[in-house]
Structure 1
Amino acid sequence: MLSNEQKNQIKTQGMPLDTVEEQLKNFEQGFPFLEIQNAAKIGEGIRVLDKQKLQKAIEDYEAAAPSKVLVKFVPASGAASRMFKNLFGFLEEDNPSLEKDSFVRQFFDSIKSFAFYEDLDKELKKTGSSLDDALKAKNYTGILRVLLEDEGLGYGNLPKGLLKFHAYGDENRTPVEEHFVEGAQYGTGKDNTVRLHFTVSPEHQKKFEEKVAEVKPAMEKKFGVKFKIDFSQQQKATDTIAVDMENQPFTEEGGEILFRPAGHGALLANLNEIEADLVFIKNIDNVVPDRLKDTTTRYKKAIGGVLLQAQSSTFKALEELDEGISESSVENARKVFTETIGGKLPQSFSSMGLEEKASFLREKLNRPIRVCGMVENTGEPGGGPFWVKEADGSLSLQIGETAQLNLDDPDQQAKFNSATHFNPTDLVCGIRDYKGKAFDLMAFRDPKTGFITQKSKSGRDLKAQELPGLWNGSMAHWNSIFVEVPLITFNPVKTINDLLRDVHQ
């Protein structure tokens, strides 16, 4: 039960009281598991574009792009601290030894292969030593402190987007700069403009703005396009209340209720404010050097083309239903839903009357559309593609995270294990309806697909709640098309040594 004082705190947070009460109820009741019917596979939910279809999709996209408002939406608030977990651990040891730590040994053996090598050398010279001198003296902790701490390069406290990832002959680029280059290659839309939108944390926005101001003029000159850069932060109103182990609001020493950021699902509110015809979504760290960008560019254009093709058929079917409900217009809408979108109708559909069929199909088709790239599952963590049964009996394609599934159930575990692909946060989204009006994306999420996790604060255990993930529960009621894309398009950087892989050199 919330006290009046707590209710006032919630209002101050900018959150509706009923939202918080719903969150408290979720802690008590838990979230239902997502019951998967089957894994989506090649030919059964995942499409493969042969050479002809790939080229047609690319051509369709290239023909339409100059008249479309395109936005590249990049979640970029991730801190780099997790990338350096092993290096921080090395610093905290009493007697750190490279012989005992293969990760740190690899880091130092290949230190000259990192794009930040020259910056680190310059920073060390300010202390009266060079990097070579420090390596000869085996002053490994001294090198790491200059790399990670704020008195040096401060890499341990920067966001991933502002670390130097890739070395070129004449420049070294951060992920932010690589997204500029990618944007110019496949995201040039209306008014010859590349629109990039970065979601950032408040403490880092100024640094992002400084980097953008530094590189934008040269990028515009290099590619002959205009760049429009926007930033947004995770909205405070999307934070979720934390509770103690008895599901009562977790209060801090001063009596204030603790609210916590609600995971990447909170970014749905940011996405909902984007004004665009198509939105590409891709994580900040999934970038490659120029020599490998061609495949990424081709497949980004291709999934954009697949979306435009699906939109064209869907919009036409909806317009025909508006003109008049007939055997012909309903049959066309049915074909678009089952063949173009790839949905599966409920058994009850065949016994519906014509008006009822039209109403059913109109509701199914008039939704945001997303085309998701799927790569072969190589053991990386990520959401898998599954068929899920809807309340109305139809089957839809969903991206399911392991935390959503009841893997104690042998049947669900077997279906989960049979998945051959996963989604590497590679999406293009159509967020306008057939009349050109923006969808309210909040109306198409499944609020019952959140997560509850156990955390601690000031030595006390607490339970935290994450909103439905951006590309799973937050898009649960979108129309989804899954397309296989090459594994080379997925190159995340989870640890600093990932930058030593060939794809980042």
Structure 2
Amino acid sequence: MMNLLKQDIELLNQKGITEEMLRSQLSFFQKGIPPVVLAAPATTNDGIMVLTDIEKERCVSWFEMKKEELDIVKFVPASGAATRMFQSLFTFLKEFKPSEESFNAYVNRMMAPELQVFYVGFEKFPFYKNVERYIAEKLPEFNSLSDSWQKWHLANVLLDKGALNYSSLPKGLFPFHQYYDSIITAFEEHLYESALYAVSQQRARLHFTIAEEHLTLFQHKFNNVEKEISQKTAVEFSVQYSFQKQRTDTLAVTSDNIPFRDENQQLFFRPAGHGALLENLNEVQSDIVFIQNIDNVVMRRYEPTIAYYKKILAGKLLELQERSFKYVSQIDSGVIKKKELPELLEFLKELNVVVPTMVHKYTKKYMLEYVRRKLDRPIRVCGMVKNEGDPGGGPFWIKEEERWSLQIVESAQMDLENEEQRTIFKKATHFNPVDMVCGLKNYKGEKYNLPDFVNYNQAFITRKNYQGHVIKALELPGLWNGAMAHWNTIFVEVPLTTFNPVKTINDLLKPAHQPKNV
């Protein structure tokens, strides 16, 4: 074990990281983390449910009937900065020399067709008028400039710290949608959307995980729009914010697994990925939680479709949860008869629990203990979308110590150098859009302690660059990956129309983000 300096101990105390936690992190680097072993892709009717229209309507009705009795929260990871949306524009501003080459020559040289798309569609972006207004005030000579210089200035006005500086905004507060009377951010769209399903007693509760430095910006935006959105939706809003906890940061090491120190000789810790947000989710007090990323929103005319599928997922969760609660309650009351045991095992199959053959030979006592252990855990119902392009992270059956379980697995967790694993990966038919509903309480209404259900062996190690140094970083098991590995998991097919993320600026040109008349 490393020898800690006085300043190291002070830093650990400041972050809330114990020496035992530090040792555990170091051991992951030293021992390595084996990749997840894929057994098979989850496909329709083998891990992914395809509901009939009648079943969909039943789920919606069930949710509508039950929701007024429930505490409901919409949980939105929203700490991402808008910066990542503009990578090609940042490169353009740095590399393009308008006096020396044409715009088309640059696009061809850099193989950057996305820039052509950006400028052809420029007037369709919600920020277009703001850029135009700024240029009219600050760059009166703009119209006399060459096409190359005009394009350079448009990008510079958008991103430069001395101009509109949009790249410094959190993604949730970046202008996403243009309506006839206003420009709306992703944050506001989440409020409008939640009013269509995440409501109980005329109140919608939302929880955004954000970067601490953006808190004032989010609060200011909410204070400005709350009254108007409440009037338009006839819903009251309760919005909470939380930050990724410093105690979830992980130590970086050198290529030789020696703790890395920064230029001030301090141990260097990094945020450990979205798996760290399990701590935030664990503090949410509610019966069910909808989880959705900040950038997966649509124009309001599409929101009823989104809400319909959210209700389907929630209805399916409540239906399965009610049966699970009934069985656990009956086990605890001692009223289950031996002849009812096959019914319990059949229900486990509905929850995608692969029951080992030996369990069928158990005595009644041990079988009930097994069933109770499998049922008494959080439950999630996740939407899954058919792959349109290359497969990425998605739903798979995985194998651990000869036991199969249904999981959401990222490609970074897999051994894609292994031909057998690569073949399974390529057979994937669906991907994970991060569209899920979670049940966080047991049948007595007691909240589960979510860290109890994490598979910590699903952490993964990545290589990063820090000021010219190659370092190894430890990512905690992803929030919907290893952090929920020991939950009961149900996958339901949902249409591609429910998945409209904005990863690059050009995604805002897609129909789901454009006004109807465009």
Within the alignment, does 1:11 sit opposite 2:22 as a pair?
no
* Amino acid in structure 2 at the alignment position of 1:337: L
Change (3 A) 1:198 1:330: same
Q: Matches of residues 139-154 of structure 1 in structure 2 within 5 Å?
A: 139-154=150-165
C-alpha deviation, 1:439, in angstroms? 0.3
| Partner residue, 2:440 | 431
Q: SS where residue 494 of structure 1 aligns?
A: coil
| Partner residue, 2:460 | 451
C-alpha deviation, 1:408, in angstroms? 1.8
Within the alignment, does 1:265 sit opposite 2:267 as a pair?
no
Q: SS where residue 195 of structure 1 aligns?
A: strand
| Partner residue, 1:497 | 506
Note if contact 1:98-1:104 (Cα within 8 Å) is conserved in structure 2.
no
Say which is worse superposed, 53-62 or 406-415, in terms of deviation: 406-415
| Partner residue, 1:253 | 263
Say which is worse superposed, 23-32 or 455-464, in terms of deviation: 455-464
Note if contact 1:11-1:17 (Cα within 8 Å) is conserved in structure 2.
no
The two structures have a TM-score, normalised by structure 1, of 0.96
C-alpha deviation, 1:462, in angstroms? 1.0
Q: SS where residue 194 of structure 1 aligns?
A: strand
| Partner residue, 1:159 | 170
Q: How many angstroms apart in 2 are the aligned matches of 1:297 and 1:281?
A: 13
Q: SS where residue 186 of structure 1 aligns?
A: coil
Q: How many angstroms apart in 2 are the aligned matches of 1:390 and 1:28?
A: 21
- Kindly provide the CA deviation profile for residues 54-85 of structure 1, in whole angstroms up to 9, marking residues without a partner as x: 00000111111122111111111111111101
| Partner residue, 1:460 | 469
- Kindly provide the CA deviation profile for residues 110-141 of structure 1, in whole angstroms up to 9, marking residues without a partner as x: 11100111122222233143986778684222
* Amino acid in structure 2 at the alignment position of 1:299: Y
Q: How many angstroms apart in 2 are the aligned matches of 1:205 and 1:132?
A: 39
Q: How many angstroms apart in 2 are the aligned matches of 1:475 and 1:71?
A: 18
Q: How many angstroms apart in 1 are the aligned matches of 2:68 and 2:464?
A: 48
Q: Select which of 356, 377, 382 maps to 1:372.
A: 382
Change (3 A) 1:380 1:135: farther
Change (3 A) 1:359 1:147: same
Q: How many angstroms apart in 1 are the aligned matches of 2:474 and 2:331?
A: 42
Q: How many angstroms apart in 2 are the aligned matches of 1:353 and 1:8?
A: 54
| Partner residue, 1:284 | 294
Q: How many angstroms apart in 1 are the aligned matches of 2:364 and 2:194?
A: 46
Q: Matches of residues 256-335 of structure 1 in structure 2 within 5 Å?
A: 256-324=266-334, 325-335=336-346
* Amino acid in structure 2 at the alignment position of 1:456: N
C-alpha deviation, 1:48, in angstroms? 0.7
Q: Select which of 199, 209, 221 maps to 1:211.
A: 221
Note if contact 2:392-2:431 (Cα within 8 Å) is conserved in structure 1.
yes
- Kindly provide the CA deviation profile for residues 306-356 of structure 1, in whole angstroms up to 9, marking residues without a partner as x: 0000101100010111111531453332222112x1322012111211111
Q: How many angstroms apart in 2 are the aligned matches of 1:305 and 1:245?
A: 48
Q: How many angstroms apart in 1 are the aligned matches of 2:195 and 2:128?
A: 28
Say which is worse superposed, 142-151 or 258-267, in terms of deviation: 142-151
Q: How many angstroms apart in 1 are the aligned matches of 2:213 and 2:62?
A: 41
Q: How many angstroms apart in 1 are the aligned matches of 2:468 and 2:417?
A: 31
Q: How many angstroms apart in 1 are the aligned matches of 2:433 and 2:202?
A: 29
Q: How many angstroms apart in 2 are the aligned matches of 1:347 and 1:37?
A: 18
* Amino acid in structure 2 at the alignment position of 1:62: E
* Amino acid in structure 1 at the alignment position of 2:4: N
Change (3 A) 1:320 1:440: same
Q: How many angstroms apart in 2 are the aligned matches of 1:3 and 1:106?
A: 55
Note if contact 1:48-1:484 (Cα within 8 Å) is conserved in structure 2.
yes
Q: Matches of residues 124-203 of structure 1 in structure 2 within 5 Å?
A: 124-129=135-140, 138-189=149-200, 191-203=201-213
Q: Select which of 63, 66, 72 maps to 1:64.
A: 66
Note if contact 1:70-1:279 (Cα within 8 Å) is conserved in structure 2.
yes
Q: Select which of 84, 87, 96 maps to 1:85.
A: 87
Q: How many angstroms apart in 1 are the aligned matches of 2:475 and 2:467?
A: 20
Q: SS where residue 451 of structure 2 aligns?
A: helix
Within the alignment, does 1:481 sit opposite 2:490 as a pair?
yes
- Kindly provide the CA deviation profile for residues 185-223 of structure 1, in whole angstroms up to 9, marking residues without a partner as x: 11111x311011111111212111111111111111111
Q: SS where residue 71 of structure 1 aligns?
A: strand
Q: SS where residue 195 of structure 2 aligns?
A: helix
Q: How many angstroms apart in 1 are the aligned matches of 2:257 and 2:9?
A: 16
The root-mean-square deviation of aligned C-alpha atoms, in Å, is 1.7
Gaps of 5+ in 1: none
* Percent identity of equivalent pairs: 42
Note if contact 1:46-1:483 (Cα within 8 Å) is conserved in structure 2.
yes
Within the alignment, does 1:471 sit opposite 2:474 as a pair?
no
Note if contact 1:320-1:329 (Cα within 8 Å) is conserved in structure 2.
no
Note if contact 1:368-1:431 (Cα within 8 Å) is conserved in structure 2.
yes
| Partner residue, 1:47 | 49
C-alpha deviation, 1:406, in angstroms? 1.4
| Partner residue, 1:400 | 409
- Kindly provide the CA deviation profile for residues 343-397 of structure 1, in whole angstroms up to 9, marking residues without a partner as x: 2201211121111111111000001000000000123664211112355x54321
| Partner residue, 2:110 | none
Q: How many angstroms apart in 1 are the aligned matches of 2:396 and 2:421?
A: 11
Within the alignment, does 1:421 sit opposite 2:430 as a pair?
yes
Q: Which runs of 4+ in 1 moved over 6 A?
A: 130-137
Change (3 A) 1:225 1:131: farther
Within the alignment, does 1:2 sit opposite 2:2 as a pair?
yes
Q: How many angstroms apart in 2 are the aligned matches of 1:313 and 1:130?
A: 70
| Partner residue, 1:223 | 233
Change (3 A) 1:290 1:130: farther
* Amino acid in structure 2 at the alignment position of 1:327: K
Q: How many angstroms apart in 1 are the aligned matches of 2:378 and 2:189?
A: 28
- Kindly provide the CA deviation profile for residues 151-170 of structure 1, in whole angstroms up to 9, marking residues without a partner as x: 22211111111111111112
Q: SS where residue 395 of structure 1 aligns?
A: strand
* Amino acid in structure 1 at the alignment position of 2:257: N
Q: How many angstroms apart in 2 are the aligned matches of 1:113 and 1:124?
A: 17
* Amino acid in structure 2 at the alignment position of 1:247: N
| Partner residue, 1:30 | 32
Q: How many angstroms apart in 2 are the aligned matches of 1:52 and 1:288?
A: 26
Note if contact 1:134-1:140 (Cα within 8 Å) is conserved in structure 2.
no
Note if contact 2:391-2:428 (Cα within 8 Å) is conserved in structure 1.
no
The two structures have a TM-score, normalised by structure 2, of 0.93
Change (3 A) 1:131 1:371: farther
Gaps of 5+ in 2: 108-112
Q: SS where residue 196 of structure 2 aligns?
A: helix
Note if contact 2:83-2:168 (Cα within 8 Å) is conserved in structure 1.
yes
Q: How many angstroms apart in 2 are the aligned matches of 1:94 and 1:104?
A: 12
Aligned residues: 502
* Amino acid in structure 1 at the alignment position of 2:428: A
